[in-house]
Amino acid sequence: MNLTLDEERTVDAAAETACSLENYLELPDHSMGGRIAKARSQLGATTIVLGHHYQRDEVIRFADYTGDSYKLSKIATETDAQYIVFCGVHFMAESADVLGRDGQKVILPDLNAGCSMADMAEISQVEACWEALDRMKLTEGLIPLTYMNSTAAIKAFCGERGGLVCTSSNARAAFEWAFARGKRILFLPDQHLGRNTGYAMGIPLEELAVWDPWAVQIGPNTGGQTKASLESARILLWKGHCAVHQRFLPSHVDQVRAKYPEIQVIVHPECRWEVCQKADALGSTERLIKIVEDAPPGSMFAIGTEIHLVNRLARRFAEKGKRIITLDDTGCLCTTMYRISPQHLVWALENLIEGRVVNQIAVRPSVKHWAKVALDRMLEV
């Protein structure tokens, strides 16, 4: 992965340990469990491991805490551990560094664990968008909001301009907060979450305009829109998406209902609007889990989200008489989340035992300040 100044990710890895990672990656999976457990025991309370729901089972079983990005971000604000080993992706580790205490160090076991959605909104593109809107006199009353799945630089951009960060669980509350302070929202970087949230609030689709940073058919600095369409839009949606959730199609809902007439279809709001309209319910990862938990025995669900979580829920609730399948049986794997292996985790932990911090994620102080403003506003909302 190419690390850029805009993303403000720095790597604190000793040169002599970098090559040793290759030796770890050659080790068999079955040899990792004992070494990870031993390292965890030696490190004790100095270190916590956070695991996102989409992580592979071989890694997440060693996590002290599991959850979605919002839940894990809150945990990062509460822990006294000196080292936070984040088994997730880079934007999550950045948020943990922003919210953590002075002296804490955040480690991402594999720097290649990125997020394609976050990468769809580069800070230079967003700044160019804002400048173009300002030239059209459309920034007055415009509140920038960004989804948690964004770089620290994007979070700082929103914080400095009066906006905040949101998650899929509090997106509506964030939109209401923004509309109480302005007349228009610029929402980054997931168009689907923005569209589904706005529509659920009663905003018609024609008042939801997509800003495409690559569009040139109308003009190089208009996002593929006319000035009139931008003026009439209440929400400007950045053209970004989750590669996993965008794979779910309306036809998948139709197919699963035809095969299982009594099934309940529940999906993540990062899915397409057309899919969400056909679903019985939608919600954040934590909300989807809660729906299944609260359902009576005999319930059956098709879930539109990442396959590792779906399979884990299927095993967990089978003994309680609940059947869970994926909405798309070809499998929707978060390939970047999957990059973190048990070998990466034990490499990071054993280096800590030796007094070396590898793959530290540190956000530049000036960026950290405004990113924390945006994240603190999120936690307040």
**How far, in Å, CA of 328 to CA of 252, rounded?**
6
Give the tens place of pLDDT for each residue, 27-49.
888 889 999 999 999 999 999 99
* Residues paired with 184 in a beta bridge: 142
Q: What is the pLDDT of residue 254?
A: 98
Same domain, 345 and 309: no
Question: What is the token pair recorded at 110?
Answer: 């594999």
- Is it the case that residue 70 has pLDDT exceeding 90? no
Q: Provide the pLDDT for residue 15.
A: 38
Q: Rounded to a whole number, what is the distance in angstroms from the first to the last CA of the chain?
A: 34
Sequence-ordered strand ranges (E) for the chain: 47-52, 65-67, 83-87, 105-107, 142-147, 164-166, 184-188, 208-211, 235-238, 264-267, 281-282, 300-304, 323-326
Q: What's the burial of 33, exposed, middle or buried (CB within 10 Å: 0-12/13-18/19+)?
A: middle
Query: Does the structure show a pLDDT above 50 at 7?
Result: no
In a domain, 6, yes or no: no
Domain boundary among 238, 270, 295: 238
Domain check: are 126 and 229 in the same one? Answer: yes
Q: How far apart are CA 77 and CA 75, in angstroms?
A: 5
The tens digit of pLDDT for each residue in 105-143 reads 999 999 988 888 999 999 999 999 999 999 999 999 999
> Residue 10: inside a domain, yes or no?
no
CATH of the domain at 354: 3.40.50.10800
Q: String of b and e for 114-133 (b: at least 16 CB within 10 Å)?
A: bbbbbbbbbbebbeebbebb
Q: How far is CA 368 from CA 99, 100, 117, in A?
A: 9, 11, 21
Residues 300 and 231 in one domain: no
Average pLDDT over residues 285-310: 95
The pTM is what? Answer: 0.88
Counted domains in the chain: 3
Do 139 and 199 have their domain in common?
Answer: yes
Q: Distance between CA atoms of 193 and 170, rounded to whole angstroms?
A: 11
Q: Where are the beta strands (DSSP E) in 14-166?
A: 47-52, 65-67, 83-87, 105-107, 142-147, 164-166
DSSP single-letter state for residue 101: P
Task: Look over the chain and give the mean of its residue pLDDT values, rounded to a whole number.
Answer: 90
User: Model confidence over 159-214: pLDDT tens digits?
Assistant: 999 999 999 989 999 999 999 999 999 999 999 999 999 999 999 999 999 999 98
Domain containing residue 250: 245-326
Percent of the chain's residues with pLDDT above 70:
93
Q: Is the peptide bond before 296 cis (omega within 30 degrees of 0)?
A: no
Residues 151 and 213 in one domain: yes
pLDDT classification of 5: cutoffs 50, 70, 90: very low
Give the end of a domain, one of 192, 211, 238: 238
What is the token pair recorded at 335?
């390939």
Whether residue 296 lies inside any domain: the answer is yes
CA 338 to chain centre: 14
Tell me, yes or no, whether 29 and 100 share the same domain: yes
For residue 14, what pLDDT is reported?
38
E-strand ranges in 137-233 read 142-147, 164-166, 184-188, 208-211
Amino acid at 324: I
- The residue assigned the tokens 């025995």 is 297
